[in-house]
């Protein structure tokens, strides 16, 4: 891990960190196309690209490595404020730290950038409920349900035998 305060700005440290974070993924999908894709993706990472920092921050959030994740997410957002995944993950970190107002702001920003981001809406709804704001929570839960239903309908449409039937 890079020394505190330096982030992952230097390509060798950044790439080494990305590989170490994703190595458990490689072990479980080593022979699959997904495993090959992940390896290629890590090799192609541009450590200076804001999206790369946001994606690595996302992985670190899921590993509960919040200080390093927050640093990467902040760096990504300094360069590009429209990274919905960075706002969403900052919301998770702030929620874990009991910084509710900051978490609400981040989830709402992620939703402004992508209204179909069901995970952000779900987390926002749960926070509204904790705060006793049941009307807001209920509205978000309804939207989450609608988004999931829409996704399910679209997926079923793609795999439906009738959608694959061409002219006879």
Nearest partner of 48 among 82, 69, 73, 75, judged by Cα: 75
**What residue spans define the domains of the chain?**
1-114, 117-160
Q: How far is it, in rounded angstroms, from Cα 99 to Cα 146?
A: 28
Per DSSP, 96 falls in state H
The correct answer on CATH 1.10.1370.30 for the domain covering 1-114 is no
pTM of the model: 0.69
pLDDT at 62: 84
Neighbouring residues of 47: CB distance < 8 A, sequence distance ≥ 6: 8, 9, 10, 11, 14, 15, 53
pLDDT per residue rounded down to tens, the chain (168 residues) = 333 333 334 344 555 666 566 656 655 544 445 544 554 464 456 667 888 888 888 888 888 989 999 999 999 999 999 999 999 999 999 999 999 999 999 999 999 999 999 999 999 999 999 999 999 999 999 999 998 888 787 777 888 776 555 454
């Amino acid at each position: 891990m890079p020394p505190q305060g330096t982030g992952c700005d230097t390509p060798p440290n950044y790439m080494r960190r990305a590989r170490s974070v994703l190595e458990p993924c490689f072990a479980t999908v080593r022979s699959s196309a997904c495993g090959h894709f992940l390896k290629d993706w890590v090799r192609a990472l541009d450590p200076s690209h804001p999206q790369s920092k946001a994606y690595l921050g996302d992985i670190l959030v899921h590993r509960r490595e919040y200080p390093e994740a927050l640093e990467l997410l902040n760096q990504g957002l300094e360069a590009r404020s429209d990274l919905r995944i960075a706002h969403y993950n900052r919301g998770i970190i702030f929620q874990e730290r009991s910084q509710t107002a900051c978490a609400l702001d981040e989830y709402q920003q992620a939703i402004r950038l992508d209204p179909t981001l069901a995970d952000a809406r779900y987390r926002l709804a749960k926070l509204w409920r904790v705060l006793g704001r049941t009307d807001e929570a209920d509205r978000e839960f309804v939207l989450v349900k609608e988004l999931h239903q829409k996704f399910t309908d679209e997926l079923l449409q793609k795999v439906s035998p009738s959608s694959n039937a061409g002219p006879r």
